[in-house]
């Protein structure tokens, strides 16, 4: 039976690829490979296009849902999590749980999202208080206090002000400033002159006009033109995204007095006082020249234009909590024009997402109780430990790194902290008031709750037990200031993680994700901080030069890739994620081989352990994306498109070449001298 399956599944591979020892059927039948062979396309040679060999069958039949801009392994799992939360929230909304309890708050918030009749009946009435606040402005000196007012409401402003860990003193919270304030995804949407961007800008003006008209604001068409002109002025001095990745360049600590000197026309002390941040004596300014460039914009933009800008930001930010006209206009631009979505998502889906966003850890508690099993956490713990050990072996094996730097790298590795599934203790939402029938008010109070929580951290030690993701999230994270990695329960599902599958597929899939997140601690920016999360140069000059030579070579590989139109992958913007992918795959494979304790893996479904490992890796990157969403991603996303996240690490991997007998002349072949190896 195994031999029959082997010939069927691997008909395009040379027989000599199958190097594993024969396993008796009785043993093999007890194991699950975890590989979905129905996604394969046997008309494609794995040596020419491994991504399509593994995923081609899926690519031929899968359709992007009308309410989505992309579809693939990540989105399928997100839909699974959303469906699970949907049932949990429906049940909570009917349970009549104890007043003030997390379950009651979740149920009431979800119910307020679903009560569309109430939203339509209220119309724009919920907006009026904030709009009147804007209308009362009479001069530009009032802007600092007004910006603080809108910051509490979660409205996007030219400067994003937040409290977070000091990059060079990671146990201390400090006020930080970062460029913000744009209504389109990136400065390029304002500044590029190609026909696509020109059309997008025209659609944006129309969108603003529509939203202001619906809210009965004066002179909507001319106001829209003035708002876009103001945002263009704000966009022009903003740093490009690749530059914003530089942790050294974006660490600029100064006193509040020094900050005020950058913008004499904007009273930062007045802002900090109004924003409950008056205790700040120092701030970290991520883009000082941008802040300085804002000064003439603050001084010379008429107060009338600022009022129009703030009114639109408010309406745009709360569109989903307003009547259907606002929702449809918001979708037409942000969903359809920018991302290519064909249909607005069903109200229940938006209600689930909104509830998860506002009450994430309360909702996560319900999710974990039903869907996350202790054995999953135990197996993840073992995987993480093995991959950390693999990195240690990998560091020792580097022939380009000195013993001094290796010792520092291993010290950082020893200080990694791991979060799996969900927080040990959920956040306390007792002070957040949630009322059925008050969707807009709930959203406003949730934003104010989050703001107050953020502002309260100033003057307190950093709490590294906090999570940046909710339990149902399909993602993973590395936090450089805490030097920790997070794997929410949502991503611990097939094809990423399978409790009952053989190790090979789990190491190739979630193992590569674990390796990726650990790899961020050693990517081109992560390597700049130590095991305590502090920015500190622990590299010898020679080792730093050798490292940079490798990253430059990797960046060139990605720069050459042209997924659509004249847009290439930006190797500098995506560098950290690309290093994570490359290193994650290599270390996950090393960990897998270590886990075998010198034994050969069984053949399951005709596939050797090494084959299953690489197939498991390729399966997690299957996906489709609409053209508009792809363009946006290439301009704004630090991740490369999924198919290249699979392919580039594979062509640089020596074991992949031998496992699938990739030879010169094959499209997956990259000469050994051209391959990049970092960790």
Per-residue pLDDT, averaged over 633-645, amounts to: 97
Q: pLDDT > 70: what percent of the chain?
A: 95
Main-chain phi, psi angles of 282, to 5 degrees: -130, 155
Q: Can you spell out the DSSP letters for 193-234?
A: -SHHHHHHHHHHHHHHHHHHHHTT-SSHHHHHHHHHHHHHHH
Range of weakest confidence among 13-27, 108-122, 365-379, 569-583: 13-27
**pLDDT band per the 50, 70, 90 thresholds, residue 374:** confident
Per-residue pLDDT, averaged over 136-154, amounts to: 97
- Spatial neighbors of 315 by CB under 8 A, at least 6 apart, are 127, 211, 212, 214, 215, 322, 326
pLDDT digits (tens, 9 = 90+) for 35-90: 999 999 999 999 999 999 999 999 999 999 999 999 999 999 999 999 999 999 99
DSSP state of 333: I
Strand partners, 255: 282
- Token pair 């909304």: residue: 93
Res 608: pLDDT: 96
pLDDT digits (tens, 9 = 90+) for 64-74: 999 999 999 99
Distance in angstroms (rounded) separating the CA atoms of residues 524 and 503: 30
pLDDT at 8 over 70: no
**pLDDT band per the 50, 70, 90 thresholds, residue 271:** very high
Token output for 295: 């000064």
pLDDT digits (tens, 9 = 90+) for 100-126: 999 999 999 999 999 999 999 999 999
Per-residue pLDDT, averaged over 476-500, amounts to: 95
Per-residue pLDDT, averaged over 208-221, amounts to: 98
Res 26: pLDDT: 37
Using CB atoms within 10 A of its CB, is residue 545 exposed (0-12), middle (13-18) or buried (19+)? exposed
Distance in angstroms (rounded) separating the CA atoms of residues 498 and 493: 6
Res 18: pLDDT: 29
Query: How many residues in total does the chain contain?
Result: 679
Per-residue pLDDT, averaged over 375-381, amounts to: 91
Res 574: pLDDT: 98
Distance in angstroms (rounded) separating the CA atoms of residues 631 and 518: 29
Per-residue pLDDT, averaged over 335-349, amounts to: 98
* Cα–Cα distances in angstroms (integers) from residue 602 to residues 184, 368, 401, 608, in the given order: 52, 34, 36, 7
Distance in angstroms (rounded) separating the CA atoms of residues 361 and 374: 18
Per-residue pLDDT, averaged over 592-601, amounts to: 95
Distance in angstroms (rounded) separating the CA atoms of residues 485 and 387: 13
Res 30: pLDDT: 59
Domains defined along the chain, listed by start: 1-62+372-416+483-679 (3.40.390.10), 124-322 (1.10.1380.10)
Kind and range of the H or E run holding 113: helix 102-114
Distance in angstroms (rounded) separating the CA atoms of residues 604 and 29: 8
Main-chain phi, psi angles of 529, to 5 degrees: -115, 160
Distance in angstroms (rounded) separating the CA atoms of residues 358 and 439: 12
Res 497: pLDDT: 94
Res 285: pLDDT: 98
Average pLDDT across the chain, whole number: 94
pLDDT at 17 over 70: no
**How many angstroms from the chain centroid is the CA of residue 27?**
41
pLDDT at 4 over 60: no
Res 16: pLDDT: 30
Per-residue pLDDT, averaged over 603-614, amounts to: 96
């Amino acid at each position: 039976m195994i031999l029959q399956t082997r010939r069927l599944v691997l008909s395009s591979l040379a027989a000599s690829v199958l190097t594993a020892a024969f396993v008796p059927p009785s043993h093999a039948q007890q194991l699950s490979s975890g590989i979905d062979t129905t996604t394969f396309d046997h008309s494609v040679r794995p040596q020419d296009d491994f991504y399509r060999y593994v995923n081609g069958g899926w690519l031929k039949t899968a359709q992007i849902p009308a309410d989505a801009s992309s579809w693939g392994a990540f989105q399928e799992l997100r839909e699974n999590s959303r469906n699970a939360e949907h049932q949990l929230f429906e049940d909570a909304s009917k349970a009549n749980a104890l007043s003030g309890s997390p379950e009651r708050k979740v149920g009431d918030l979800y119910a307020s999202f679903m009560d569309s009749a109430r939203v339509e009946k209220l119309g724009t009435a919920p907006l009026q208080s904030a709009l009147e606040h804007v209308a009362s402005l009479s001069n530009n000196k009032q802007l600092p206090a007004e910006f603080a007012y809108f910051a509490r409401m979660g409205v996007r402003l030219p400067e994003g002000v937040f409290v977070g860990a000091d990059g060079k003193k990671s146990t201390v919270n400090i006020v930080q400033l970062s460029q913000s304030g744009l209504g389109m995804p990136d400065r390029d949407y304002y500044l590029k002159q190609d026909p696509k961007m020109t059309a997008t800008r025209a659609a944006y003006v129309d969108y603003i006009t529509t939203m202001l008209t619906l809210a009965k604001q004066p002179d909507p068409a001319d106001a829209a033109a003035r708002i876009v002109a103001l945002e263009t002025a704000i966009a022009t001095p903003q740093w490009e995204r690749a530059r914003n990745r530089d942790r050294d360049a974006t660490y600029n600590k100064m006193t509040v007095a020094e900050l005020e000197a950058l913008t004499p026309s904007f009273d930062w002390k007045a802002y900090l006082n109004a924003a409950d941040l008056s205790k700040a004596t120092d701030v970290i300014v991520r883009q000082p020249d941008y802040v300085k460039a804002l000064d003439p914009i603050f001084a010379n933009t008429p107060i009338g234009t600022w009022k129009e800008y703030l009114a639109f930001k408010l309406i745009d930010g709360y569109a989903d909590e307003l009547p259907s006209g606002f929702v449809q206009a918001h979708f037409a631009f942000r969903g359809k024009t920018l991302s290519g979505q064909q249909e607005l998502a069903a109200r229940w889906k938006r209600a689930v997402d909104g509830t998860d966003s506002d009450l994430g850890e309360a909702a996560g508690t319900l999710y974990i109780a039903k869907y996350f099993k202790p054995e999953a956490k135990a197996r993840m713990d073992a995987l993480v430990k093995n991959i950390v050990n693999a990195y240690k072996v990998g560091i020792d094996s580097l022939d380009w790194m000195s013993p001094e730097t290796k010792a520092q790298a291993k010290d950082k590795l020893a200080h990694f902290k791991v979060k799996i599934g969900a927080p040990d203790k959920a956040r306390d939402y007792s002070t957040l008031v949630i009322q059925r029938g008050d969707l807009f008010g709930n959203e406003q109070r949730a934003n104010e709750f989050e703001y107050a929580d953020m502002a309260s951290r100033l003057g307190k030690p950093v709490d590294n037990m906090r999570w940046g993701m909710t339990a149902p999230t399909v993602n993973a994270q590395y936090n450089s200031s805490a030097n920790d990695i997070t794997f929410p329960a949502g991503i611990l599902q097939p094809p990423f993680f399978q409790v009952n599958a053989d190790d090979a597929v789990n190491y190739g899939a979630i193992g590569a994700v674990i390796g990726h997140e650990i790899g961020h601690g050693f990517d081109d920016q992560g390597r700049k901080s130590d095991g305590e999360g502090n920015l500190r140069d622990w590299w010898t000059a020679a080792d730093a030069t050798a490292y940079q030579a490798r990253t430059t070579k990797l960046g060139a590989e990605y720069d050459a890739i042209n997924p659509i139109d004249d847009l290439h992958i930006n190797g500098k913007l995506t560098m950290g994620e690309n290093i994570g992918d490359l290193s994650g795959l290599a270390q996950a494979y090393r960990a897998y081989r270590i886990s075998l304790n010198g034994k050969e893996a069984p053949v399951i479904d005709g596939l050797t352990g090494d084959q299953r490992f690489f197939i498991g890796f390729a399966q997690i990157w299957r996906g489709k994306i609409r053209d508009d969403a792809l363009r946006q991603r290439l301009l704004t996303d630090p991740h490369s498109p999924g198919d290249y996240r699979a392919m580039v690490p594979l062509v640089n991997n020596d074991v992949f070449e031998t496992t699938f007998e990739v030879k010169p002349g094959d499209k997956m072949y990259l000469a050994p001298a051209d391959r990049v190896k970092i960790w």
